[in-house]
Amino acid sequence: MTYCLLSIKLLEWTVFVLICDGSVRRSQTLGLVFFMAVSNASSEDELSPQNKEQKNSKGFSDFCIKNIKQADFGRKEIEIAQQEMPALMILRKRTAGEKPLAGANVVGCTHITAQTAVLIETLSALGAQCRWSACNIFSTQNAVAAALAEGGISVFAWKGESEDDFWWCIDQCVAADRWQPNLILDDGGDMTHWIYKKHPALFKKLKGIVEESVTGVYRLYQLSKKGKLCIPTMNVNDSVTKQKFDNLYCCKESIVDGLKRTTDVMIGGKQVVVCGYGEVGKGSCASLKALGAIVYVTEVDPICALQACMDGFRVITLTEIIRQVDMVITCTGNKNIVGREHFDKMKSGCIVCNMGHSNTEIDLTSLQTTELKWQRVRPHVDHIIWPDGKRVILLAEGRLLNLSCSTVPSFVLSITATTQALALIELYNAPDGRYNQDIYLLPKKMDEYVASLHLPTFDAHLTELTDDQAKYLGISKYGPFKPNYYRYGKAFPHI
Ligand SMILES: NC(=O)c1ccc[n+]([C@@H]2O[C@H](COP(=O)([O-])OP(=O)(O)OC[C@H]3O[C@@H](n4cnc5c(N)ncnc54)[C@H](O)[C@@H]3O)[C@@H](O)[C@H]2O)c1
């Protein structure tokens, strides 16, 4: 009998396929082969990355990830993302000789995805040394983390970390031998919080923090109010090029993907309540409405509530609408939006998920009671079963849906990532005295620069102000074109 054994790398599994010419033995051998494949995958998977010794092909081992063998696959993911992230690639070329981040030690805590990898590798190309952990226990792309480690980046993250793993990974980034961060790139404020709590002495060497999320910026303002903010901070979240693009378009393009991948749900005709009508809520509502959902909005802010009304959404309280909706989606950045009192009133089959940064919006502890059964039906999909058989479908354990369960558009993230890179360059190179112990927005001119780097993708042709027109408006013909307080209008007046 002749046979050959093919080894096929399929994501995290090595699957052996045995091709036999003897049909009699086929079922036996395939059974054995299947067993080998499963036990190989599961024994590797079961081992916590913390207990694995791994080295990249050059012997480098200062990282902790799921599986370094996935690096080739992750590299392809990064290359695909690069094609949709033109500005970072241009930045690499334009600053090739200058290395504006030479000597910068950047400690990062963000989602670890192909798009972030393009940012991290751009920072390295600009001269920085980076150590990175994940800001979310579910959003890490393991193969991408492997590709970063293969490229020599100290990355500490894997998909499905425990809460303890999460803080351990953050600590590995900060408490490194012979390496001290002088810049933080944070998404949600956990890295900043950890350094304040566990390694406050590091602040003496830090030149600044760049914070990307609503939640993290809120935490920075809390620190500032208490007089505890001791270094300059750049609030990237409120940069126009972050908020008006990432929060809005990223969610608009990914929420439906997250819902469909997890539940295969039909959106048209479904009644959906979206809690919070900020940028994330606006993007989510627009997308759901475009597919024919009947969308309700809850809001605390009368201005956002009025915007929702004028966009054609019914503004209502969660208590009023909860019995009739098929989906509840939180987008507030706040806590305890959906509690047990709401869960008890939901109809069977109601889908509950969160698009906000933290897992605080849905009160899961109220569901940890003995009469309720939890059943994991798919990755990231739990059925919570009431004694009468009612089932509520919880996605991603209440963590942000799109980054846990779907892909997000690289192009939108390119805009945010370029803003982050420029904010780091600005803080690192600013002369003494330009920034104090305060929270700043990226200078307007840089926001405009980020946007301009993305225009060639669309073959967009900008009109140039004439000297006369610039004089009439009282601005330079090369920008900035708007004052800092300009709000850039609403994105979806027509939906
Ligand atoms: N999923 C993603 O890809 C993604 C992208 C960007 C931001 N975010 C996160 O999403 C969250 C929201 O971001 P945003 O930019 O929309 O913020 P935002 O401040 O613009 O909007 C939040 C809205 O929620 C409202 N709100 C607060 N408490 C409420 C309550 N109890 N009930 C109803 N409404 C309430 C606020 O009035 C506000 O209008 C943040 O946590 C942010 O970090 C997620």
> Would residue 309 count as lying in a domain?
yes
The C-alpha R_g of the chain, in whole angstroms, comes to: 24
Entry field: residues in the chain: 495
Q: Is 76 marked as a binding-site residue? A: no
Atom of ligand 1 nearest to the CA of 333: 41
Whether 338 and 299 map to the same domain: the answer is yes
CATH code of residue 417:
3.40.50.1480
Residues with Cβ within 8 Å of residue 415, at least 6 apart in sequence: 87, 241, 242, 245, 246, 450, 451, 454
Whether 443 and 359 map to the same domain: the answer is no
Whether 294 and 379 map to the same domain: the answer is yes
Q: Is 474 marked as a binding-site residue? A: no
- Whether residue 239 contacts residue 419, with contact meaning beta carbons closer than 8 Å, is answered with yes
> Would residue 455 count as lying in a domain?
no
Whether 273 and 212 map to the same domain: the answer is no
CATH code of residue 261:
3.40.50.720
pLDDT at residue 43, as a whole number: 54
Whether 267 and 294 map to the same domain: the answer is yes
Whether 220 and 260 map to the same domain: the answer is no
Whether 269 and 227 map to the same domain: the answer is no
Q: Which domain holds residue 349?
A: 250-399
The rounded Å distance from CA 244 to ligand 1 centre is 13
pTM of the model: 0.80
The rounded Å distance from CA 280 to ligand 1 centre is 6
Whether 159 and 280 map to the same domain: the answer is no
Q: Is 280 marked as a binding-site residue? A: yes
pLDDT at residue 20, as a whole number: 36
Burial class (CB in 10 A: 0-12, 13-18, 19+), 242: buried
Ligand 1: which of 247, 297, 335 to mutate, judged by most atoms within 8 Å of the beta carbon? 247
- Cα separation, 167 vs 190, whole angstroms: 9
> Would residue 280 count as lying in a domain?
yes
Q: Is 279 marked as a binding-site residue? A: yes
Residue where a domain stops, chosen among 399, 432, 462: 399
Burial class (CB in 10 A: 0-12, 13-18, 19+), 162: exposed
Measured on CA atoms in the order 281, 283, 284, 286, is the torsion positive or negative? positive
The rounded Å distance from CA 490 to ligand 1 centre is 16
Ligand 1 pocket residues where CB is under 6 Å: 213-215, 243, 246-247, 250-251, 275-281, 298-301, 304, 331-334, 337, 355-357, 400, 402-403
Name beta bridge partners: 20: 3
Matching residue, tokens 């241009």: 90
Whether 90 and 189 map to the same domain: the answer is yes
> Would residue 48 count as lying in a domain?
no
Question: DSSP strand E in 304-380: where?
Answer: 314-315, 327-330, 351-354, 373-378
Matching residue, tokens 């709000």: 487
The rounded Å distance from CA 238 to ligand 1 centre is 13
> Would residue 362 count as lying in a domain?
yes
The rounded Å distance from CA 331 to ligand 1 centre is 5
- The residue whose CA is least distant from atom 18 of ligand 1 is 278
Whether 337 and 413 map to the same domain: the answer is no
pLDDT at residue 485, as a whole number: 78
Matching residue, tokens 């942000």: 400
Count of structural domains within the chain: 2
Residues with pLDDT less than 50, the chain: 1-41, 491-495
Q: Is 359 marked as a binding-site residue? A: no
> Would residue 169 count as lying in a domain?
yes
- Cα separation, 380 vs 339, whole angstroms: 20
> Would residue 357 count as lying in a domain?
yes
- The residue whose CA is least distant from atom 37 of ligand 1 is 301
pLDDT at residue 235, as a whole number: 95
pLDDT at residue 176, as a whole number: 87
The rounded Å distance from CA 357 to ligand 1 centre is 8
Whether 416 and 375 map to the same domain: the answer is no
Ligand 1: which of 116, 136, 214, 285 to mutate, judged by most atoms within 8 Å of the beta carbon? 214
> Would residue 88 count as lying in a domain?
yes
Whether 261 and 294 map to the same domain: the answer is yes
Atom of ligand 1 nearest to the CA of 237: 15
Nearest CA to 132 out of 222, 454, 149, 443 is that of 149
